[in-house]
């Protein structure tokens, strides 16, 4: 099987390395690079048309990232009867139904294991579960970069900025890390997962709050309460309604999520007959992601089809499907926004009890308009909140 790689950055070069040192049935014969990139290998070319029109190339691996020109390149590859494998979660989250339909029209495969979970075989196993079960919950740590940052802030007692620099040095964070720190990377992965689980086109807007504003003082306070902070993506289905949210969440220090360290991911699904399934592995880095791409290449080589989805299930998005407790660190003048809620003050932080997720995120936008450095986090599962976090006796009830 002859392969062309579009883009030769961290992931693209990782794919090349694995193939060059692995199965002789696979061979990279072309590498598409931008005109500004020096051609340092004989396989490199700036001529995309030559790749698309080469009848000997079976599969195109897209590792360029971003929406454009990746969207056009993937469509062109499928329309030229090439299988496509990609690690580009942004373009897949937005155009998955379109790519799947075009691939079916041209009798080729469009695979994207590497978009979600890094080296974890998450997509493949989610598809397997969805063949039998109605999946009603997807949640977990989907972003290795943010997990590394939060883990190091707690265990090494560091602030956000130096840990972010270390993440860049280790290849976990991009030059522009905003998609990781602001939660957009998790949004894309959650959209892809929910689309497969529920067989529907995901919503355009998802309530999202990242970790950009978290401080060492926040982490230290949570640790004093025996809590660990993680950036979580969660989707829940209830009948013909479903929710999606990306936000920081506190867990008891004995929870599995709290003990998911470094750049590792921990992702869970719940199905009607299978119950809970959890998947753990490296979620960021050159070779974990490249490994997932090569796994998809093997599926194409060995004619192993993936789950066929039409993405046309008529479900309704409901941002308020989940109700939980939140802790807010902000200018105290913003606390008045929650006067109609049951609240408590703990160490100058406001705990808002049993508030719908969508409502909390809307109110948080108002808080940020007053205090741009404010931070919030959901408090575990709502039924655990009182015993796990709110155990201080000097709390002032203001609700």
Residue numbers annotated as active site: 189
* Sheet with 59-62, side-by-side order of all strands: 44-45, 27-32, 2-6, 59-62, 83-86, 110-111
List Cβ neighbours of 19 (8 Å cut-off, separation of 6 or more).
Answer: 3, 26, 27, 28, 294, 297
Count Cβ atoms below 10 Å from residue 156 Cβ, excluding itself: 10
Q: 249: part of which helix (H) or strand (E)?
A: strand 241-252
Q: 279: which strand partners?
A: 267
Query: Residue 251 and residue 223: Cα distance in Å, rounded?
Result: 10
Tell me the three state secondary structure of residue 99: helix
Query: Quick one: residue 155, left, alpha or beta (phi over 0 = left, psi -120 to 50 = alpha)?
Result: alpha
* Burial category of 80 from C-beta neighbours within 10 Å (exposed 0-12, middle 13-18, buried 19 and up): middle
């Amino acid at each position: 099987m002859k392969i062309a790689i579009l883009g030769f950055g961290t992931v693209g070069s990782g794919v090349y390395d694995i193939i060059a040192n692995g199965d002789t049935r696979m061979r990279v014969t072309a590498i598409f690079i931008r005109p500004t990139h020096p051609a340092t290998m004989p396989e490199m070319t700036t001529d995309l048309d030559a790749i698309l029109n080469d009848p000997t190339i079976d599969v195109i691996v897209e590792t360029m990232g971003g929406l454009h020109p990746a969207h056009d390149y993937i469509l062109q590859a499928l329309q030229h009867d090439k299988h496509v494998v990609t690690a580009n979660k942004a373009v897949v989250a937005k155009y998955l139904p379109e790519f799947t339909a075009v691939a079916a029209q041209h009798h080729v495969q469009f695979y994207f294991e590497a978009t979600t979970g890094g080296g974890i075989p998450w997509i493949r196993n989610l598809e397997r579960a969805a063949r039998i079960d109605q999946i009603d919950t997807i949640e977990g740590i989907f972003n290795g970069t943010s997990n590394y940052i939060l883990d190091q802030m707690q265990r090494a007692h560091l602030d956000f900025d130096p840990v972010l620099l270390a993440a860049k040095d280790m290849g976990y964070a991009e030059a522009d890390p905003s998609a990781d720190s602001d939660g957009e990377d998790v949004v894309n992965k959650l959209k892809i997962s929910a689309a497969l689980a529920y067989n529907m086109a995901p919503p355009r807007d998802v309530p999202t709050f990242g970790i950009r504003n978290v401080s060492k003082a926040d982490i230290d306070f949570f640790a004093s309460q025996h809590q660990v902070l993680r950036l979580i993506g969660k989707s829940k289905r209830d009948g013909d309604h479903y929710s999606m949210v990306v936000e920081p969440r506190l867990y008891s220090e004995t929870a599995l999520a709290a003990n998911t360290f470094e750049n590792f991911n921990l992702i869970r699904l719940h199905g009607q007959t299978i119950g809970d399934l959890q998947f753990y592995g490296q979620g960021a880095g050159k070779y974990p992601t490249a490994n997932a791409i090569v796994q998809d290449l093997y599926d194409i080589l060995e004619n192993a089809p993936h789950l066929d989805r039409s993405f046309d299930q008529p479900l309704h998005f409901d941002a308020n499907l989940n109700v939980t407790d939140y802790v807010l660190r902000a200018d105290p003048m913003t606390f008045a926004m929650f006067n109609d809620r049951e609240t408590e003050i703990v160490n100058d932080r406001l705990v808002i009890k049993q508030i719908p997720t969508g409502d909390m995120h809307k109110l948080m936008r108002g808080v940020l308009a007053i205090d741009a450095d404010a931070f919030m986090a959901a408090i575990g599962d709502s039924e655990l909140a009182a015993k796990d976090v709110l155990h201080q006796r000097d709390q002032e009830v203001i609700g």
